[in-house]
Amino acid sequence: MKLIALLIGIYAERYLARWSHLREFRPFEERANRLAEKVLRLEPRAAPYVVAGITLACALPVGIAAWLLRHNSLEILWFVFAIAVLLASFGPRDLNAEALAYQEKAEAGDAEGAKAQAETLIGGGAPDEPQEQLEAVEKATYLEANNRIFGVVFWFLVAGSLGPAFAFGFRVLNSLRRYTATLPGGGELHRAAVMLHGLAAWVPARITSASFALAGNFDDAINAWRGVTAEQRANLSNGTNAVLGAVGAQALGERPDRVRGAVALARRSLFFVWGPIVAVAVILGWVY
């Protein structure tokens, strides 16, 4: 049931991109931030606890529902609930559409449109120089593939019947990380969100990097992984970003259309590496 729910969720997410705006958490994020600001005025060092509390408050109702529906007699209801939660957890926007929109604007010579699209994908400022901008968008595609898709899939699979709650919690952390990055006065919250998201993303990011290598130029990708310095690895978030970016770029090879190639590499990794491995794990009872 879990594997089928996952497959339906992944395919449905691709074909329901026009409704992706329904997965935006802006009203919730704004209310959560106002509450967080009040707490941080009292104690700035409480930022990690505030981010963890917001994540738990969002994931707990999902976990309670998943726990109540875990019995065999309610398996169909759990199945439907899991698909709905997955659709809410992927994204918030369609990564393929965002990345390809940038590639099309860049190829058409629309510098302003390309930069605006790059900033949307990166989640912040984008370089003005075209080559640097292209490299930043390519790297962001690898990072966002882990944040929007692979990390959600990982936590959905490893958490048993509570998988929907863990997947949704990962989405909430990623959403807080992105939202607080451009929030005036949100420095403490952003640092806390980055730290906690880095913890949650560490394992799935390494699995994602390995899948990039298996789906692309394996030897070059592994050498790039080994080339990530100890200083970069020392920081959870920066180390994860460095590994994903370096491995993805080398796994892709010399393809000229870098962003379109990055999207294709992420798709191959999902369907031709993760897919068979997950299927075998489910069949053998390692994931349930």
In this prediction, residue 61 has a pLDDT band, given cuts at 50, 70 and 90, of: very high
Q: Across residues 57-69, what is the average pLDDT?
A: 94
The answer to whether 34 and 147 have CB atoms below 8 angstroms apart is no
The residues near 72 (Cβ < 8 Å, ≥ 6 apart) are none
pLDDT digits (tens, 9 = 90+) for 82-125: 999 998 899 778 888 889 899 899 888 888 999 999 988 888 78
Q: Please list the alpha-helical segments (H only) found in 184-257.
A: 187-215, 218-226, 230-234, 236-252
Asked if the model's pLDDT at residue 31 lies above 80, the reply is no
Give CA separation, 240 vs 147, 161, 225, 246, 282, in Å: 11, 28, 11, 10, 27
Q: Give the number of other CB atoms < 10 A from CB of residue 278.
A: 20
Q: What are the residue ranges spanned by the domains of the chain?
A: 2-283
Q: Which two tokens stand for residue 160?
A: 């048993």
Residue 179: predicted pLDDT: 80
First to last CA, the chain: 8
Q: What is the DSSP letter of 69?
A: T
Burial of 108 (0-12, 13-18, 19+ CB in 10 A): exposed
d(CA 34, CA 100): 35
Kindly report which listed range (22-31, 105-114, 160-169) carries the lowest average pLDDT score. 22-31
Give CA separation, 149 vs 89, 108, 111, in Å: 8, 29, 29
The answer to whether 179 and 29 have CB atoms below 8 angstroms apart is yes
In this prediction, residue 3 has a pLDDT band, given cuts at 50, 70 and 90, of: confident
Residue 30: predicted pLDDT: 67
pLDDT digits (tens, 9 = 90+) for 170-208: 999 998 888 877 766 667 888 888 999 999 999 999 999
Give CA separation, 211 vs 43, 97, 128, 251, in Å: 42, 22, 32, 10
Q: Across residues 140-164, what is the average pLDDT?
A: 93
